[in-house]
């Protein structure tokens, strides 16, 4: 229903210029603000232009798979009041061919577009599929995110292992020497050793950055919902921010980071930036609050930056990473 309303132009448009303090130069592009829409909302690219008019600094489409697939049986999306979601969607989507048709109609503009790619549940060959997907979407993408961390495709998270991830990244580099910036989306459930291996693999293979992180299989104490799937939203904030800070410290400036997980206020976005993110993504808060969230979040972030003594986003990146890295066990 939301995608249909967007396509009909019923969601409106944010015409207010962004505060200059929110501008970020990263991944070879200028972002008017660092707040982006995470992958999973518009899997098939059917409402990208309307989404870009809402005030996001960037939009990430997908996850797109080589072939169409129905995803997991319904019901597969559950609200966790007051501010969480559990999903087990399973990469439902119309597949690459349909996705490319939608992209052919999209006029590239000032709002950068990320494209998230992943393998099918059946018949997958990651070293074949990821390079083919990257080559197909590259002409349309300002960056490409490879999804090796959804908990809802069997075996996918195994691709975060050092050898498998390195093989995938090498295969993409061989197939696409002039690739747009390439980021790896990782799970917030990685161990410290697992995170170190991912960071090392990405640096050695020439990846540009990480998205930290996807949904979690863990459940906070006292949570009563028992549905299987990945948990997102506010319950994920502390865990994902601590992992983001640790990734920033491990990468030591060699990777660019996008912070994702639990962002619903400008203060949350600022925490991600202080942990090491140049850009921030949200999904669950957008599902709960809709487009009206964006102007408030951007105003709160700009005020928070100035209140903390920072001239802009870039000046604040990683400023509190050591403290935030120790703030939550992973």
Q: Is 150 a catalytic residue?
A: yes
CA distance 55 to 53: 6
**Other Cβ atoms within 10 Å of 286 Cβ, number:** 22
Q: Which of 162, 168, 158, 211 is nearest to 188 (CA)?
A: 211
The structure tokens 């303090």 sit at 21
**What SS3 class is residue 251?**
helix
**Other Cβ atoms within 10 Å of 128 Cβ, number:** 14
Which is catalytic among the residues 150, 201, 232, 240?
Answer: 150
| Distance of alpha carbon 158 from the chain centroid | 19
**What SS3 class is residue 255?**
coil
Mode of pairing for the β-strands spanning 84-87 and 77-80: antiparallel
CA distances from 236 to 25, 83, 86, 203 (A): 27, 10, 11, 26
CA distance 114 to 72: 25
Cα four-point dihedral sign 246, 211, 269, 142 = positive
CA distance 106 to 100: 10
Burial class of residue 221 (count of CB atoms within 10 Å of its CB; 0-12, 13-18, 19+) = exposed
Contact 38, 283 (CB under 8 A): yes
CA distance 186 to 127: 17
In DSSP notation, 152-173 reads TSTTGGGGGSHHHHHHHHHHHH
| Distance of alpha carbon 303 from the chain centroid | 24
Q: Which residues are catalytic?
A: 150
């Amino acid at each position: 229903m939301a995608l249909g309303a967007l396509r009909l132009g019923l969601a409106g448009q944010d015409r207010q210029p962004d505060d200059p303090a929110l501008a970020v130069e990263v991944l070879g592009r200028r972002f008017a603000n660092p707040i982006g829409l995470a992958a999973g909302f518009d899997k098939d690219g059917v409402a990208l232009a309307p989404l870009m008019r809402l005030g996001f600094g960037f939009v990430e489409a997908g996850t797109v798979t080589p072939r169409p697939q129905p995803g997991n049986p319904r019901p597969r999306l559950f609200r966790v009041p007051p501010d969480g979601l559990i999903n087990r969607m399973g990469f439902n989507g119309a597949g690459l061919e349909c996705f490319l048709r939608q992209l052919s109609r999209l006029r590239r503009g000032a709002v950068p577009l990320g494209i998230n790619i992943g393998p099918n549940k059946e018949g997958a060959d990651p070293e074949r599929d990821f390079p083919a997907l990257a080559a197909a979407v590259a002409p349309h993408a300002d960056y490409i995110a490879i999804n090796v961390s959804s908990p809802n495709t069997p075996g996918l998270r195994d691709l975060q292992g050092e050898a498998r991830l390195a093989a995938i990244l090498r295969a993409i580099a061989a197939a696409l020497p002039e690739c747009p910036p390439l980021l790896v989306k990782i799970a917030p459930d990685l161990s410290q050793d697992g995170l170190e291996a991912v960071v090392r693999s990405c640096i050695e293979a020439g990846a540009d950055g990480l998205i930290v992180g996807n949904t979690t299989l863990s459940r906070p104490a006292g949570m009563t919902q028992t549905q299987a799937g990945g948990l997102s939203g506010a319950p994920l904030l502390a865990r994902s921010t601590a992992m983001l800070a640790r990734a920033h410290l491990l990468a030591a400036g060699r990777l660019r980071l996008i912070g994702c997980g639990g962002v619903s206020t400008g203060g949350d976005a600022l925490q991600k930036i202080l942990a090491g993110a140049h850009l921030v993504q949200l999904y669950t808060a957008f599902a709960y609050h809709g487009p009206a969230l964006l102007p408030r979040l951007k105003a709160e972030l700009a005020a928070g930056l100035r209140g903390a003594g920072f001239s802009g986003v870039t000046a604040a990146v990683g400023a509190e990473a050591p403290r935030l890295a120790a703030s939550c066990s992973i």
